[in-house]
Amino acid sequence: MKPSPFQVVDASFLYGMAPGNSAPESEAPEIAFAGRSNVGKSSLLNQLLGRRNLVRTSSTPGCTRQVNVFASRLSDGWTVHLVDLPGFGFARRSREERVSWGTLIEGYLTSRRSLRMLVILVDARRGPEEEELQLIEWVQGARTIEPALELIAVATKLDKLSRAQAAAAVANVSKAIGLPTIGFSAQTGEGRDALWRALKRVATPPMP
């Protein structure tokens, strides 16, 4: 196999935000990854960053409990911050906890100027459900600041489908969610280059 043109030479955890503890706006553009619990957000980030365990993942839903920001630099000098969000649709939290989390994530998505792109992850086998469609509609209406937020979708866990099923599933997700959609597997790395190509649209080029 040909080596990927998207080699990450630096990747590190920068900071986490919990309710009541946000972070100052960053100079670097941010790309956030949203989706229901267990859809594969943290695994996708490890695959993108080329690190096995930089981002904590778990087969138990509700693993990511903060808004976690990671810095990355590609071998050609481009940089961007990748933001892992706690999953939604995870009920095993108190109502109070869910409200404070909702406020943190909603505030982050609507008011964060450094946020330039939102990637919505959908399990390729399930397709988008009400929560994903609501999130998209809500964020498009609620975010009124410049610059505009670019939205794309990723269909995850493609390795669990046959080739023919995978192609059909990605097309279905794209149609149902109404966004350009990239098929992805954190296990095989399929879709990694296509996703990096899309993410680079909002990344920072190297200093001359």
| 64 lies in the binding site for Mg ion (CB under 5 A) | yes
Residues of span 153-192 touching ligand GTP by CB under 6 A: 156-157, 159-160, 185-187
| 61 lies in the binding site for ligand GTP (CB under 6 A) | yes
Instruction: Give the dihedral of Cα atoms 107, 113, 119, 121; nearest 10 deg.
Output: -10
Q: Which of 31, 44, 63, 154 binds Mg ion (CB under 5 A)?
A: 63
**Chain center to CA of 19:** 20
| 72 lies in the binding site for Mg ion (CB under 5 A) | no
Closest distance to ligand GTP from the beta carbon of 36 (Å): 7
Residues of span 31-50 touching ligand GTP by CB under 6 A: 35, 37-43
Cα 154 from Cα 20, distance rounded (Å):
30
What are the beta bridge partners of residue 74? 8
> Order of strands, edge to edge, in the sheet holding 8-17?
8-17, 67-74, 79-84, 30-34, 115-123, 150-156, 181-183
Select from 27-35, 59-67, 111-119, 176-184 the region that touches Mg ion (CB under 5 A).
Answer: 59-67
Cα 26 from Cα 84, distance rounded (Å):
16
CB-based contact 64:85 (threshold 8 Å): yes
Closest distance to Mg ion from the beta carbon of 145 (Å): 27
Closest distance to ligand GTP from the beta carbon of 169 (Å): 13
Q: Closest CB to ligand GTP belongs to which residue?
A: 87
* CB atoms inside a 10 Å sphere around CB 114: 17
Site residues (vs ligand GTP, CB under 6 A) = 35, 37-43, 57-59, 61-64, 86-87, 156-157, 159-160, 185-187
